């Protein structure tokens, strides 16, 4: 330590000569020391400006040019996140820290220690920003990888940031109270219970985030539904303490990760990754319109391309009678049965219906309103808007085909119906 001080004194001996010269001119000793300190501070300030100029004008410019010329993305992201800018800020800080002792080495050791402590804290602050820029770069580069949605790392990076903040805080406290950071860590060991209480949500969120990620329960872009939390939309962010979901009405719902672990939610990812999106629709057939098909009705249905091969197999010669008893004795087809076969053929030949998945046309348990007629199939198109348009076109086609089979859907009577009946229409 003494050798270093002697080296500094010899290196900056001209300051001593300046002070002696001022004293020889009759200048007060205090003023002479202050003048020497002022000259030293001015020199330090100039050195810091020169160091900053070199770091920012030369170093940053060089790194920006290098990043543009390389084919990799990581250096471009580092420049964008101002990583090298944060790194360059260390240069003037280091210059100030190393030269402060020269300006105050024989004037005021306390002032020297105080200013050096301030400089250390400033460099710790720069280091935090530097690591934040680095973590942001890692996250952005990772998001471009194909498996990033299945394995988000934002929560883990936030854990590293918390550790960094805690470590930086310990260093700052150690600098302020002039204690070894290791002794502070030992003291914190006794406060573990308090820290667990303070960071309860963070720890719980960390465990939940790991579970969500490890079990592939959630990833960015998933459409999830949680009615009891008014949550229905796409996941736009997964962090250590929150999961953000943009609902279909464009509102943002934020829930802690442990909520998704402790409560049930529906993830539509399976549908999006499958070969089709399910459609289940029902209409109520008016029971009074179900009948056996006579020859006249069959002749009309024989013109329908999708079922003409089915109608052709029916012996229409024995169906001349209109009496339902004659038709039942002749084993006539019902209009509802032919309509069911037509709907099946229509769905089977539809270009957007996936024939490799379940396709069912069925009648369910009759009710006081009529006979529920259900269709169950999968569309190849899974995008929401296109899916709704296609299924709507299919449903209105089926509704429009009903009268051709002499069938009607059940519909409650309106005031217009009642007035028409009253008028005898």
Contact between 339 and 361 (Cβ < 8 Å): no
Contact between 236 and 192 (Cβ < 8 Å): no
**Each residue of 314-324: pLDDT tens digit?**
776 666 656 66
Taking CA atoms, 5 is separated from 11, 102, 106, 198, in Å, by 10, 9, 10, 46
Strands of 371-379's sheet, edge to edge?
277-285, 371-379, 360-363
Q: Is 237 helix (H, G, I), strand (E, B) or coil?
A: strand
This prediction's pTM: 0.51
CA-based nearest residue to 407, from 331, 327, 339: 339
Strand partners, 282: 374
**Which helix (H) or strand (E) element contains residue 307?**
none
Contacts of 169 (CB under 8 A, 6+ apart): none
Contact between 104 and 8 (Cβ < 8 Å): no
Contacts of 283 (CB under 8 A, 6+ apart): 372, 373, 398, 399, 409
Computed over every residue of the chain, the mean pLDDT equals 77
39-53 b/e (C-beta count within 10 Å ≥ 16 → b) = ebbeebeeebeebbe
Instruction: Determine the Cα–Cα distance for residues 17 and 23; give it in Å rounded to an integer.
Output: 10
Strands 360-363 and 371-379 come out as antiparallel
Instruction: Determine the Cα–Cα distance for residues 149 and 256; give it in Å rounded to an integer.
Output: 19
**Which helix (H) or strand (E) element contains residue 279?**
strand 277-285
pLDDT in tens, the chain (425 residues): 444 445 444 445 555 555 555 556 556 555 656 666 676 677 777 877 887 777 777 777 777 777 777 777 777 777 777 777 777 777 777 877 777 766 665 556 677 777 778 888 888 888 888 888 888 877 777 777 776 666 667 667 777 777 788 788 878 887 787 777 666 666 665 566 666 666 666 677 777 776 776 666 787 888 888 888 888 888 888 777 788 899 888 888 888 888 888 788 888 787 777 788 899 999 999 999 998 888 888 888 889 898 888 888 877 666 665 666 767 766 678 889 999 999 999 999 999 999 988 999 999 999 888 999 999 999 998 888 899 999 999 999 999 999 999 999 988 776 666 776 777 65
- The dihedrals phi and psi of 278, each to the nearest 5 degrees, come to -75, 145
Taking CA atoms, 85 is separated from 89, 91, 129, 176, 346, in Å, by 7, 11, 10, 27, 65
**Each residue of 371-415: pLDDT tens digit?**
999 999 999 988 888 999 999 999 999 999 999 999 999 887 766
How many residues can be counted in the chain? 425
CATH number, domain 273-415: 3.30.70.100
CATH number, domain 217-267: 2.30.30.60
- Please report how the helices 154-177 and 181-189 are oriented relative to each other, as an axis angle in degrees rounded to 10: 120
Domain spans in the chain, listed from the N-terminal domain onward: 2-209, 217-267, 273-415
């Amino acid at each position: 330590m003494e050798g270093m001080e002697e080296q500094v004194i010899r290196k900056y001996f001209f300051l001593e000569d300046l002070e002696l010269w001022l004293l020889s001119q009759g200048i007060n000793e205090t003023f002479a020391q202050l003048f020497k300190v002022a000259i030293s501070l001015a020199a330090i300030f100039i050195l810091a400006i020169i160091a900053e100029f070199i770091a920012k004008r030369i170093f940053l410019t060089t790194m920006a040019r290098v990043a543009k010329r390389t084919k990799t993305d990581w250096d471009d992201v580092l420049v964008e996140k101002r990583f090298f800018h944060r790194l360059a800020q260390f240069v003037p800080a280091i210059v100030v820290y190393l030269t402060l002792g020269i300006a105050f080495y024989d004037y005021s050791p306390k002032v020297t220690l105080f200013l050096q402590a301030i400089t250390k804290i400033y460099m710790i602050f720069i280091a935090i920003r530097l690591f934040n820029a680095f973590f942001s770069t890692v996250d952005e580069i990772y998001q471009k990888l194909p498996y990033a949605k299945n394995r988000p790392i934002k929560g883990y990076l936030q854990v590293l940031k918390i550790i960094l903040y805690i470590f930086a805080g310990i260093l700052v406290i150690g600098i302020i109270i002039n204690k070894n950071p290791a002794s502070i860590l030992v003291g914190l060991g006794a406060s573990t219970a308090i820290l667990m209480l303070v960071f309860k949500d963070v720890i719980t969120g960390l465990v939940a985030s790991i579970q969500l990620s490890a079990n592939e329960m959630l990833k960015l872009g998933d459409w999830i539904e949680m009615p009891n939390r008014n949550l229905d939309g796409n996941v736009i962010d997964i962090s250590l303490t929150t999961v953000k979901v943009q609902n279909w009405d464009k509102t943002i719902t934020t829930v802690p990760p442990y909520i998704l672990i402790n409560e049930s939610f529906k993830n539509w990812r399976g549908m999006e990754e499958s070969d089709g999106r399910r459609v289940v629709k029902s209409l109520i057939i008016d029971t009074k319109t179900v009948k056996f098909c006579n020859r006249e009705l069959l002749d009309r249905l024989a013109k329908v391309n999708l079922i003409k091969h089915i109608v052709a197999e029916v012996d229409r010669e024995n169906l001349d009678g209109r009496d339902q008893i004659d038709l039942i004795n002749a084993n006539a087809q019902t209009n509802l049965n032919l309509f069911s076969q037509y709907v099946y053929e229509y769905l089977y030949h539809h270009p957007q219906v996936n024939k490799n998945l379940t396709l069912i046309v069925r009648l369910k348990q009759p009710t006081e309103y009529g006979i529920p007629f259900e269709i169950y199939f999968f569309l190849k198109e899974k995008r929401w808007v296109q899916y709704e348009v296609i299924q709507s076109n299919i449903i209105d086609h089926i509704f429009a085909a009903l009268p051709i089979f002499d069938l009607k859907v059940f519909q409650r009577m309106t005031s217009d119906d009642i007035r028409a009946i009253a008028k005898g229409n």
